[in-house]
Amino acid sequence: MSFLSTQQIHDHCLATTQEAIEILGWTNISVGVLSDEERRQLEDANLQSPLDWRWAMQTYSGNSEDGILDITLKLIDRDEPEQLHAVIICKYDWRREQFSICMLENFISDEDTDLTGNVLIIALIYATTFCQIAELDDVYIQDPTEDAQPRYRSYGFAQVWDDHSKMSADVRDILNTIRLKVNGIDPDEE
């Protein structure tokens, strides 16, 4: 197990994720954390969203000491770069040695931007980095929507046999799939 605090791992993962997406050429995406104002905006459900962010912010309230890790993705070349463009909420349960992606959404999905189709990849880069540091073998997805499950399966996720509210995949398999996909290779054809 890592000797770093959850906050230290989170900070390292944010920096590593920023570096990784810049290497992928997505240089206009800024990785950060939710401000208090952005938290209130999500709690008040002031965003056009099919997901229940009010529920999410109540269910996954807390900070890194509680294992709750939030990530914002913002396009810095937009007219209003300070607005919320995409959010990822994760949970690290150190007692169960389990890392889960709990919520993620691109709030400007109706536009074609560098976030389009890439929020999940960015979440997986963050998650696999966290799991490698914390010496965890699997990434979990908590309460995946029916619509999103095929996309998760394309990265190697499968239903957890003893907890049908979760899907999981091996960190190494996820990393391999990301490498293939960002290089334009369909992993199913490999």
Residue 152 in 3-state DSSP? Answer: helix
Query: CB 57: neighbour CB atoms within 10 A?
Result: 22
Instruction: Kindly state the average pLDDT of the residues 6-23.
Output: 97
Cα–Cα distance for residue pair 14/126, rounded to 1 Å: 7
Q: Is residue 150 part of a domain?
A: yes
Specify the higher pLDDT residue, 84 or 15: 15
Task: Compute the chain's Rg from CA coordinates.
Answer: 16
CATH number reported for the structural domain that contains residue 104 in this entry = 3.40.630.30
Q: Is residue 141 part of a domain?
A: yes
Centroid of chain to Cα 88: 4
- pLDDT mean across residues, the chain: 92
Give percent of the chain above pLDDT 90: 81
- Evaluate if residue 94 carries a pLDDT over 60: yes
Domain of residue 41, residue span: 6-182
Q: Is residue 187 part of a domain?
A: no
Q: Is residue 188 part of a domain?
A: no
Number of structural domains in the chain? 1
Q: Is residue 129 part of a domain?
A: yes
35-71 tens-digit pLDDT: 999 999 898 876 778 889 999 999 999 899 999 999 9
- Evaluate if residue 23 carries a pLDDT over 90: yes
Beta strand pairing status for 68-75 and 86-93?
A: antiparallel
Beta strand pairing status for 29-32 and 68-75?
A: antiparallel
What's the 3-state SS for 96-149?
CCEEEEEEEEECCCCCCCCCCCCHHHHHHHHHHHHHHHHCCCEEEEECCCCCCH
Q: Is residue 190 part of a domain?
A: no
At 3, the pLDDT band (50, 70, 90 cuts) reads: confident
Confidence (pTM): 0.94
Instruction: Kindly state the average pLDDT of the residues 85-106.
Output: 96
Q: Is residue 189 part of a domain?
A: no
